[in-house]
Amino acid sequence: DQQVKQNSPSLSVQEGRISILNCDYTNSMFDYFLWYKKYPAEGPTFLISISSIKDKNEDGRFTVFLNKSAKHLSLHIVPSQPGDSAVYFCAAGRFLNFGNEKLTFGTGTRLTIIP
């Protein structure tokens, strides 16, 4: 049962334009959501997160939007740069007792920025 889904395996965007990566989830109990970026042969690096009580969080060129009623979140990158070419994973988590928590990851979207 895939609780976190990224339905687009790949996305190509012109340099300077906006990149929009989407993620859907099925479990309404998730408390927070994160986006990670991963280059080949490297570990994922944390990009941005959002609490379930918010609908938007912004950090420089990166903005995450959360629509709880639709169980949907998106990552906007503007303007897109060649260095943004990577695989992006969304992840969701819950606050549990004793910090006994785990993240549920989507399958990833490969973003390619075209110069």
Residue 106 within binding range of another protein, rule CB under 8 A: yes
CA distances from 24 to 11, 28, 81 (A): 16, 11, 25
d(CA 22, CA 59): 17
SS3 label, residue 61: coil
SS3 label, residue 9: coil
Q: Which is nearer to another protein, 49 or 74 (CB)?
A: 49
- Give Dmax over CA atoms of the chain in angstroms: 47
Residue 32 within binding range of another protein, rule CB under 8 A: yes
- Segment 36 to 95, residues that bind another protein, using CB under 8 A: 36, 41-46, 49, 89, 91, 93, 95
- Least CB distance to another protein at residue 34 (A): 7
Residues in touch with another protein (CB under 8 A):
6, 9, 32, 34, 36, 41-46, 49, 89, 91, 93, 95, 98-103, 105-108
